[in-house]
Amino acid sequence: MRVHIASDVHGATKAISAAAQGSDVFVCLGDLILFLDYDDPGHGIYADLFGEDYARTYIELRTANKFDEAREFSANAWQGIGVSSQDQRWGVLQQKVREQYEIMFEAMPAPAILTYGNVDVPALWPEFIKTEHRVLDGEVIEMDGKRWGFLGGGLVSPMRTPYELTPEEYATKLQAMGQVDVLFTHIPPRHELLNYDTVARRFEVGSSALTEYIVEYQPKYHFFGHVHQPLRSRVRMGKTECINVGHFHGRQTPFVIDL
């Protein structure tokens, strides 16, 4: 069974439309929205709202882990366009997210299995998914006689992205799935080689619950994304091959494997 896997699509609509070609199963592990384009600051929701110079400075502050300064800088930008409250801010962002989802889901291959990334907004997906899209979050399906488990979202972080869970919430959803043969998540297990982003120069948040799950159940594969430029893209933990499927927005091609 030839499986194509994409994660961290971040607005790459043209590339995602061709990502399933030649596959038996196509899987997308989320992060469809592009808030900030670290490679080209002229693109993304924040560049649309505030301009490229704003986006470039905001990226520099976040890359330097100056999150408090970044939030203050952002608050001033919002006030500059007459938006003062969090509710007003979210109303503006939600409209921009809807505009991106409309284009993204039109381009998304079908059939497909999808789960959410940490920058996704699950409540909006039902407005845009196609009939042939199967969205799984904390669920297990049988595929070719094997149990495939899917868990979306990220963990609470300084980035304050839309779909973040507490470690306890995440661990509860993970354990409720029971043992699987193949595990698909958006975020990686907690492991220094898998969590460190060599370009952002910081450790992204990995899940200790995932690490414990892998040690306990030893699925054959664990596929994930989230860390765009990892120090290592593959690490073996016992019998489990942990694989970062790559930053689709940057690679423009899916990860391909025969399961």
Instruction: Give the domain extent around 158.
Output: 2-32+108-258
Residue 141 has pLDDT above 90, yes or no: yes
Q: What would the DSSP string read from start to end of 188-238?
A: PBS-HHHHEETTTTEEPP-BHHHHHHHHHH--SEEEE---SSBS-SEEEET
Q: What is the pLDDT of residues 193-244, one digit of tens each?
A: 999 999 877 899 999 999 999 999 999 999 999 999 999 999 999 999 999 9
Residue 3 has pLDDT above 90, yes or no: yes
Percent of the chain predicted with pLDDT > 70: 100
Cis omega (within 30 of 0) for bond into 111: yes
**Per-residue pLDDT at 8:** 98
CA 257 to chain CA centroid, nearest Å: 20
Q: And the tokens for 25?
A: 């199963």
Question: Do 102 and 118 fall into the same domain?
Answer: no
Average pLDDT over residues 181-200: 95
| Separation CA 207–CA 30 (nearest Å) | 17
Which of 84, 107, 130 marks a domain boundary?
107
Residue 59 has pLDDT above 90, yes or no: no
143 pLDDT tier (thresholds 50, 70, 90):
very high
Average pLDDT over residues 131-140: 98
Residue with tokens 């304050």: 160
146 pLDDT tier (thresholds 50, 70, 90):
very high
Question: Do 94 and 176 fall into the same domain?
Answer: no
Residue 249 has pLDDT above 90, yes or no: yes
Q: Are 183 and 215 in contact (CB under 8 A)?
A: no
User: What global pTM score does this model have?
Assistant: 0.94
38 pLDDT tier (thresholds 50, 70, 90):
confident
**Per-residue pLDDT at 159:** 82
CA 181 to chain CA centroid, nearest Å: 22
Question: Do 71 and 84 fall into the same domain?
Answer: yes
Q: Would you state the torsion angle of the CA atoms of residues 77, 83, 88, 90, taken in this order, to the nearest 10 degrees?
A: -10
Question: Do 252 and 149 fall into the same domain?
Answer: yes
Q: What radius of gyration, in Å, describes the C-alpha atoms of the chain?
A: 18
| Separation CA 150–CA 28 (nearest Å) | 11
Question: Do 180 and 147 fall into the same domain?
Answer: yes
Question: Do 58 and 160 fall into the same domain?
Answer: no
| Separation CA 245–CA 254 (nearest Å) | 7
Residue 116 has pLDDT above 90, yes or no: yes
Query: Within 13 Å of residue 194, how many CA atoms lie on the same side as its CB?
Result: 26
Q: What is the pLDDT of residues 71-99, one digit of tens each?
A: 899 989 999 999 988 889 889 999 999 99
Q: Would you state the torsion angle of the CA atoms of residues 220, 15, 95, 91, taken in this order, to the nearest 10 degrees?
A: 40
Which of 80, 107, 134 marks a domain boundary?
107
Percent of the chain predicted with pLDDT > 90: 86
100: helix, strand or coil: helix
Question: Do 44 and 99 fall into the same domain?
Answer: yes
In the 8-state DSSP scheme, what is residue 157? -
Structural domains in the chain (count):
2
Question: Do 128 and 233 fall into the same domain?
Answer: yes
Find, among 259, 255, 200, the residue nearest to 19 by Cα: 255
Which of 74, 107, 140 marks a domain boundary?
107
Residue with tokens 């989802």: 101
